[in-house]
Structure 1
Amino acid sequence: MLRIFSTIIFLTAMSSFSAFANGISTHVLDLATGVGGKNVPVILELKSKEGNWTRFATGVTDENGRIKSFNSPIKVSKGIYRLSFDMSKYTGSKKSSFFPEINVVFQIEDENLHYHVPVVVSPYGYSTYRGN
């Protein structure tokens, strides 16, 4: 019985890991307050070979400023993606942002990996990097 229970737990963990291993997540961190930027609308787009952007998925950051999975189930493939953050909706810093919209363009080369793309914001600047 213990062996069956252990096997079920292992398989559940592995299936969750596999789902998490492929995809895109993001995080908005407010440098001025030191907390996550909650309720920020985010659009994920994919660039076509012709150079046009197509909406791929949307989401809103949670209480901790994270989007672990977008509203639509996504299966990423090789290509160029853009995350657009609507900072005009963010009220966390108590100041309006000099940057009402932040666009982060990045490239996916290995569709088997998970891509975490955080944005660190302040009223007068922002930074991004590839997280894990």
Structure 2
Amino acid sequence: MSFSTHVLDAVAGRPAAGVRVRLEDDRGRVLAEGRTDGDGRIKGWDTAGAGVRRVVFDTGGYLAETFYPEVVIAFTVSDPAQHHHVPLLLSPYAYSTYRGS
């Protein structure tokens, strides 16, 4: 199964490049880690099968001032054959996410 994310900086109105991101399994084992590219994206990570996964965004390393130094989004992989896309819309005092395609 593949995983991707897209981080958008809601204040600047552009993709958030250089955000550190890691993907973990339900035991906290790191499955993948990296930084968003110039378009704010990470593509092609493997979730290593079914189960609960967490994507962790180092928002404190990206934003100079933020109430949320880290955003953790847990999601369930029930069908490892499907692609899972988890976008993050980010500002210093709020964030939102949804299951993308």
Query: Which TM class, normalised by the smaller chain length?
Result: over 0.9
**Higher RCO (C-alpha under 8 Å, 6+ residues apart):** 2
Moved beyond 4 Å, runs of 4+: none
Structure showing the higher strand proportion among its residues: 2
Structure showing the higher helix proportion among its residues: 1
Does the alignment pair 1:109 with 2:78? yes
Unaligned runs of at least 5 residues, structure 2: none
Cα pair 1:39 1:89 within 8 Å, conserved = no
Percent of aligned positions with the same letter in both sequences? 42
CA RMSD of aligned residues (A): 1.3
SS in 2 for 1:57: strand
Q: Which structure 2 residues correspond to residues 1-132 of structure 1 after superposition, within 5 A?
A: 22-47=1-26, 52-70=27-45, 74=46, 76-91=48-63, 95-132=64-101
Cα pair 2:23 2:30 within 8 Å, conserved = yes
| TM superposition shift of 1:75 | 5.3
Unaligned runs of at least 5 residues, structure 1: 1-21
SS in 2 for 1:68: strand
TM-score (norm 1): 0.72
Cα pair 2:17 2:39 within 8 Å, conserved = yes
**Would you say how many aligned residue pairs link Structure 1 and Structure 2?**
101
